[in-house]
Amino acid sequence: MRKHRHLPLVAVFCLFLSGFPTTHAQQQQADVKNGAAADIIFLVDSSWTIGEEHFQLVREFLYDVVKSLAVGENDFHFALVQFNGNPHTEFLLNTYRTKQEVLSHISNMSYIGGTNQTGKGLEYIMQSHLTKAAGSRAGDGVPQVIVVLTDGHSKDGLALPSAELKSADVNVFAIGVEDADEGALKEIASEPLDMHMFNLENFTSLHDIVGNLVSCVHSSVSPERAGDTETLKDITAQDSADIIFLIDGSNNTGSVNFAVILDFLVNLLEKLPIGTQQIRVGVVQFSDEPRTMFSLDTYSTKAQVLGAVKALGFAGGELANIGLALDFVVENHFTRAGGSRVEEGVPQVLVLISAGPSSDEIRYGVVALKQASVFSFGLGAQAASRAELQHIATDDNLVFTVPEFRSFGDLQEKLLPYIVGVAQRHIVLKPPTIVTQVIEVNKRDIVFLVDGSSALGLANFNAIRDFIAKVIQRLEIGQDLIQVAVAQYADTVRPEFYFNTHPTKREVITAVRKMKPLDGSALYTGSALDFVRNNLFTSSAGYRAAEGIPKLLVLITGGKSLDEISQSAQELKRSSIMAFAIGNKGADQAELKEIAFDSSLVFIPAEFRAAPLQGMLPGFLAPLRTLSGTPEESKRDILFLFDGSANLVGQFPVVRDFLYKIIDELDVKPDGTRIAVAQYSDDVKVESRFDEHQSKPEILNLVKRMKI
């Protein structure tokens, strides 16, 4: 049993300071001299329960956090301690003066191993690190911060050291992973808990909370908490945010109302500090499909952004696929490649402007937003669904609607303070909270076999590639969960990666998104099916044969095979490989039905484009997650009775080989299929009874040695 992957739940205000800063306050911020930020000590669990693989993810997490903060004499100082039975100092607060030195040490840090004694680790920090000799600047009024990361239950007491830290006004952040004790995390963490405690389902989720942790550290050490009139120097960029405006360009809006939206955007953007180091802006228009108007890093000045917005044209379209558009912005815009500064801790913001209800399912897109820690606003007019906008938005209070677009300008005064608050870190995302629903993950090994022929075309191939990435994003990927392999085929077959190539979901998705078409000249589906059966569903390729894990194959093709597929399809079924078949109008539907284990596992989208593929996703995922391969072979006793008379002299080797091949395809075992063999002429000669040779090697060896 596994806990369902937690999500960054509806984000709330982590810290809402005394109103939004005025222009005068902003001038104060610009005049603030560089001052000490905080002393941060990482206390990292290195007990045996972590393991080397997960410890590497811990290294990457620490690296990303430090990379997001300024390191220097008057900025952040860092120390690092590994704790187990004997806490071990990696470096002190005064060991390094540059960010590169800290990052280099973290990258090369060794995994120690031992028992989990968190209490001892906290005591060690108080005695050996929170001192002037160890580099602490507490005497100079610099905030002291401890970040504890653990995956289990402490073997010692926590109450006393936790109480001492709190009485010393040390800010303690507690991060628990997998089997961490939630009660212990609450005891360790400072108040408020929703700002200082993170409880994660797995180590891969550490990557998702970097931005949240950095934001909460900023808030926790801000002088404004103590009534200081100055604002702490922002470590990433002053008044910074990455904002994507997602605009309804369907016929629900219309060209006249679209012009009203553009006027609204221009007036709003004129009041924001736009620039590469401040607020970056991107715009996406959606109808049947989303279209990037410009990305976060396309324009570097306010004048350029305003000019681009004024020049936007209305797309039009019958559908308003909001779900598809949400997925699109997460995958293509809130990323480094899309110009996002998420890895630097810069807030990620989505402003959705809708004129009607979504034409597609929005659930998965909403989940993607929350997993990416995007701060979402919902603006609507006319027939927009307020309930739908509330589901998408970070909080119900961040949904603003008007009856008609002519009143849309009224929303500016409501929206602007919130955007400024996010950019100035006065409004930040709440740390992820665990969802307590427990589910059983059905282990399975899945091969995606993709048409890579030149006839398919690059646009279709890219749509298929994105579809596979979306499927994998929704699966529980791991060495003890669901494993995935991918191969392309045309006139040849090219494995992209095997079951044992990429152990994490992030690595698998990255590999899928890097795929380039094979561009073969022909399409030999039958040969490709044989290749998968013989070369991918093998132990050497990572298939978990010893565990009897269900074998699933997903064929995605856009054409008719040039070779025979019937025998190959039968071999799949004999090998207990459950096949799904996805094809567009160019594929042969009869072939798809013959290859698929059942006609219900044949999927025919109108074409290989984002919207049709997205539409079939729920119906495809349900059986992919739950079906367990071909039905288990029922118990049976099979008697092979063959002619052993003189009539067969000279032909007996052929008969013997025929028997051998049939038996070799059967699941021979005492509680499965049992075999008996006899030959007849004037009388009957029993070669083997049902209870004599009950394993496949035994009965095959007997058959090889038979004589008339």
Among 414, 352, 361, which Cα is nearest to 380's?
352
Residue 545: its pLDDT value, please?
Answer: 85
- Is 462 in the same domain as 557? yes
Residue 28 has pLDDT above 50, yes or no: no
Residue 230's contacts (CB-CB under 8 Å, 6 or more residues apart) are 28, 29, 32, 223
- Is 96 in the same domain as 140? yes
Residue 437 has pLDDT above 80, yes or no: no
309-358 per-position pLDDT tens digit: 999 999 999 899 998 899 899 989 999 989 999 888 899 999 999 999 99
Kindly write down the DSSP assignment for every residue of 440-456, as one continuous string: ----EEEEEEEE-BTTT
Among 261, 303, 263, which Cα is nearest to 281's?
303
* Residue 430 falls inside a structural domain: no
* Residue 14 falls inside a structural domain: no
Instruction: Tell me how far apart the terminal alpha carbons of the chain are, to the nearest angstrom.
Output: 56
Residue 655's domain comprises 636-705
Residue/partner pairs of 258-264 with CB below 8 Å, 24 or more apart: 258/314, 259/314, 260/405, 260/406, 260/408, 260/409, 261/353, 261/405, 261/408, 262/309, 262/310, 262/312, 263/409, 264/408, 264/409, 264/411, 264/412
What average pLDDT does the segment 74-85 reach?
90
Bond preceding residue 697 cis, omega within 30 of 0: no
- Is 104 in the same domain as 188? yes
Residue 429: its pLDDT value, please?
Answer: 64
113-158 per-position pLDDT tens digit: 777 788 889 999 999 999 999 999 988 889 999 999 988 778 777 8
167-213 per-position pLDDT tens digit: 788 999 999 988 788 888 988 999 888 889 998 888 888 888 887 88
Residue 614: its pLDDT value, please?
Answer: 77
State phi, psi for 444 to the nearest 5 degrees. -165, 155
What is the spatial distance between Cα 205 and Cα 74, in angstroms, rounded to a whole number?
A: 31
- Is 461 in the same domain as 488? yes
Let me know: does 89 contact 232? Beta carbons within 8 Å: no
CATH of the domain at 653: 3.40.50.410
DSSP for residue 668: B
Residue 438: its pLDDT value, please?
Answer: 36
- Is 342 in the same domain as 395? yes
* Residue 592 falls inside a structural domain: yes
Among 350, 396, 390, which Cα is nearest to 241's?
350
Residue 221 has pLDDT above 50, yes or no: yes
* Residue 562 falls inside a structural domain: yes
571-604 per-position pLDDT tens digit: 998 888 999 999 998 999 999 999 998 888 999 9
- Is 457 in the same domain as 553? yes
Pairing type for strands 348-354 and 482-489 reads unpaired
280-298 per-position pLDDT tens digit: 999 999 998 899 999 999 9
pLDDT-based confidence at residue 434 (cuts at 50, 70, 90): very low
- Is 642 in the same domain as 596? no
384, two tokens: 């927009």
Let me know: does 177 contact 149? Beta carbons within 8 Å: yes
Residue 229 has pLDDT above 60, yes or no: no
- Is 399 in the same domain as 446? no
Residue 226: its pLDDT value, please?
Answer: 34
Residue type, 33: K
**Residues composing the chain:** 708
Residue 435: its pLDDT value, please?
Answer: 35
Let me know: does 289 contact 610? Beta carbons within 8 Å: yes
Residue 634: its pLDDT value, please?
Answer: 52
5-24 per-position pLDDT tens digit: 333 333 333 433 323 333 22
632-649 per-position pLDDT tens digit: 445 678 888 888 887 777
Let me know: does 171 contact 130? Beta carbons within 8 Å: no
Strand ranges (DSSP E) for 288-357? 290-294, 348-354
Bond preceding residue 192 cis, omega within 30 of 0: yes
Residue 236 has pLDDT above 50, yes or no: no
Kindly write down the DSSP assignment for every residue of 179-204, as one continuous string: T--HHHHHHHSPSSHHHHEEEESSGG
**Last residue in a domain, options 175, 203, 226:** 226
* Residue 480 falls inside a structural domain: yes
Residue 635: its pLDDT value, please?
Answer: 66
- Is 585 in the same domain as 449? yes
- Is 616 in the same domain as 596? yes
Instruction: Give the count of domains, the chain.
Output: 4
List the beta bridge partners of residue 301. Answer: 275
**Last residue in a domain, options 182, 202, 226:** 226
- Is 200 in the same domain as 285? no
444-463 per-position pLDDT tens digit: 999 999 999 999 999 999 99
pLDDT-based confidence at residue 219 (cuts at 50, 70, 90): confident
Residue 6: its pLDDT value, please?
Answer: 34
Average pLDDT score over the chain: 84
What is the spatial distance between Cα 290 and Cα 672, in angstroms, rounded to a whole number?
A: 53
In degrees, rounded to 5, the angle at the alpha carbon of residue 196 between the alpha carbons of residues 195 and 200 is 95
What average pLDDT does the segment 660-673 reach?
82
What average pLDDT does the segment 505-531 reach?
93
* Residue 1 falls inside a structural domain: no
* Residue 398 falls inside a structural domain: yes
Let me know: does 286 contact 250? Beta carbons within 8 Å: yes
**Last residue in a domain, options 226, 260, 287:** 226
- Is 199 in the same domain as 335? no
* Residue 25 falls inside a structural domain: no
What is the spatial distance between Cα 367 and Cα 433, in angstroms, rounded to a whole number?
A: 14
